[in-house]
Amino acid sequence: MKSHTEYLLFNTKKRREYINITGRVEEAVEKSGVQEGFVLVSAMHITAGVYVNDAEQGLIEDIDEWLDKLAPYGPDYRHHRTGEDNGDAHLKNLMIGSQVFLPVTKGQLDFGPWQQVYYAEFDGRRKKRVIIKIIGE
């Protein structure tokens, strides 16, 4: 059994951004030498997420609008009583999820049509990390 770990670092310019990290995950899989196994891609922060979906700009805008309707920025969340202003980001993380688990077959991500891996930042403009953990043969 082989294992390989990499970290991606982000410091976004905006509070919310959606970044296609598929290529970086594919590079990590290639470096790992794993031919058959799995890759975990996980945001290491509770105000960010990782998801798999289409790389279509209209869909990304729809996702952002949907999340903002369900957890808008600014309302008086109880979390803000701690001095924070990112209660919406925590709720957006719960909706998107913080990690994905993907199959590796013949040394490559085994995706369906159009599937891409995204890092979703909901409280950016500061240093954040994602872990990529690959295990297999």
Name, in order, each residue with C-beta under 8 angstroms of 64's C-beta and a sequence gap of 6 or more. 16, 18
Dist. CA 40–CA 42, nearest whole Å? 6
- pLDDT tens digit at each of 137 positions of the chain: 999 999 999 999 999 999 999 999 999 999 999 999 999 999 999 999 999 999 999 999 999 999 999 999 988 899 999 999 999 999 999 999 999 999 999 999 999 999 999 999 999 999 999 999 999 99
The pTM is what?
A: 0.96
DSSP calls for 12-49:
-SSSSEEEE-HHHHHHHHHHHT-SEEEEEEEESSTTEE
Q: What is the pLDDT of residue 29?
A: 98
Q: What is the pLDDT of residue 75?
A: 80
Question: Which domains does the chain show, CATH number per domain?
Answer: 2-136 (2.60.120.460)
